[in-house]
Amino acid sequence: MPIGSTRRARRTGLWGVIAAVFLVGTGVGSVLPILPLFLRERGGSYAMVGVVVGANLVAQFIAQYPAGRLSDRVGRAPLMIGGLVVAAAAIAAFALPLSIGWLIGLRFIQGLGAAAFRPGARAAVADLVPEGERGVAYGWLSGADTAGLIFGPALGGILAVFGRAIVFEVTGLAILLAAVVLAFALDVRRHGIPSAPLVSPVATSEMRNAGAAAVRGLVMLSMGVGLLYGIYNVVWSLFMKTIGATDWEVGLSFSLFALPLVLTAPVAGWAADRVDRRWLSAGSAASTALIAPIYPFLHSVPAVIGVGVIEASTAAFAEPAINAYLMSAVAADQRGRAAGTVGTAETAAKAVGALLGGGLFGLGVWVPFVVSSVAALACILLGVPWLRAAGRDTGLRPVLAVSGRG
């Protein structure tokens, strides 16, 4: 294939992945405000609502790592597209007159589909974009995901006027459309995703150790951020209510937190290609953890929302830097496995945070914010020695294994 065609194919593939991530984010976001209400109408208890919602996280925790490894073997596109088709069918089936038990199973299946898609999407960007430009690409990817989560809830609220079942049907169509976009953008039959060439076919033990250290360090950072936001997801609305926020203001706080993540994403990606990614990601994650204990001291809704905007603006720098550094630390045929490893750690931490959040809030309004801050900072600090050992120039070395000879 001519070089120009290859470049066009890579650009088309990249924007196809970004568009698919936006569509998936929109679909997931549209369900978020509707699902608990829908389940209660079906006769589900509050505890059962938690089980249905949590089934998705459990499935992603179980499946992300093996899905990432499988994408290294069978290719990114087939697994990503297949996962989206499965997820689309599972979420659309919520519109059927099924019992709560079936809905738990469908939510679990949806999580398996998401697990097949997410590591492949992270790895595919690295396959399509050369080192030195990946920070910007991951910035756009992060922005697309967050933009979908902003647009989705508004769409879900509008669709719910015509019936809650419509939300699930349209969400299924949106996720199916994402699969179609990927199929055309990656043009699997003709050339698939072109993999980045390795610098050398042989890796020294030093290179393998550097790659393993990078992955372990990023796992710790991701666990810190995941734990923090897992707790936030449970306690934020409760906290806002304690300071007198209306339902409208609670929703606004979510939207205004997400908006800076979208607007800052291109700048964050640009920085990830120019600043040491290790310390950019660690510093961004640490800023979020340090801001968390401030909230309980604020009793004004505008003040809380304002601090949230500041937090989001600094937090936006973490994900592009983490993804770009992770993909530079491993060889092309290990990217799915690495993405699955980090994704599994983050999902597990979010699940733990969600499980602990309610109980911590019951001990005192300030408790979950302080505990999440301390735990997140501890994870970040534990990751720093591994990041230091990995070195900044990991991307220049042909690391062939995530951990040992794995």
**In terms of domains, do 240 and 346 share one?**
yes
Q: Do 245 and 113 touch, CB atoms closer than 8 A?
A: no
Report, as an integer, the average pLDDT of 128-157: 84
- Write down the pLDDT at residue 46: 63
Q: Are residues 157 and 256 in the same domain?
A: no
In terms of Cα–Cα distance, which of 242, 48, 254 is closest to 146? Answer: 254
**Assigned domain for 193 exists:** no
Q: Does one domain contain both 260 and 215?
A: yes
Q: Domain range holding 225?
A: 205-396
| Distance set, CA 330 to CA 282, 337, 346, 396 (Å) | 19, 9, 19, 10
pLDDT the model gives residue 401: 38
Residues 170 and 222 in one domain: no
Q: Which of 16-20, 73-77, 190-194, 292-296 has the lowest mean pLDDT?
A: 190-194
Average confidence score pLDDT of the chain: 82
Token pair 């408790």 is found at: 367
Judged against a pLDDT cut of 50, whether residue 397 lies above it is answered with no
| pLDDT score of 224 | 94
As for how many domains the chain has, the answer is 2
| Domain-embedded: residue 402 | no
CA-wise closest residue to 365 among 224, 234, 238: 238
Residues 153 and 232 in one domain: no
Number of residues written out for the chain: 406
- Same domain assignment for residues 116 and 42: yes
Residue 247 has a pLDDT of: 67
Both 97 and 166 in one domain: the answer is: yes
Average pLDDT for residues 172-176, to the nearest whole number?
93
The answer as to whether 403 is a domain residue is: no
Question: How does pLDDT run across 256-289, given as a tens digit for each residue?
Answer: 888 888 888 889 989 988 889 999 999 999 999 9
Q: Are 398 and 199 in contact (CB under 8 A)?
A: yes
- 406: in domain: no
| Final residue belonging to a domain, choices 128, 159, 186 | 186
d(CA 147, CA 178) in angstroms, rounded, equals 15
Specify burial of residue 12 (Cβ count, 10 A radius: 0-12, 13-18, 19+).
Answer: middle
The pLDDT-based confidence of 50 (bands split at 50, 70, 90) is low
CATH code for position 81: 1.20.1250.20
Nearest 5 degrees, angle CA 333-CA 335-CA 340?
130
182 and 209 inside one domain? no
Q: Are residues 110 and 232 in the same domain?
A: no
CB 203 within 8 A of CB 325: no
- Answer with the one of 186, 218, 236 that is the final residue of a domain: 186
Res. 321: pLDDT tops 60: yes
Which tens digit of pLDDT belongs to each residue from 291-311? Answer: 999 999 998 999 999 999 999
Tokens 């499988």 found at: 70
What backbone phi and psi angles, to 5 degrees, belong to 364? 155, 145
Mean pLDDT (whole number) for 209-215: 84
Residue 336 placed within a domain? yes
Residues 93 and 147 in one domain: yes
Non-local (6+) Cβ contacts of 87 within 8 A are 24, 109, 110, 112, 113, 114, 117, 175
- Residue 405: the pLDDT is 34
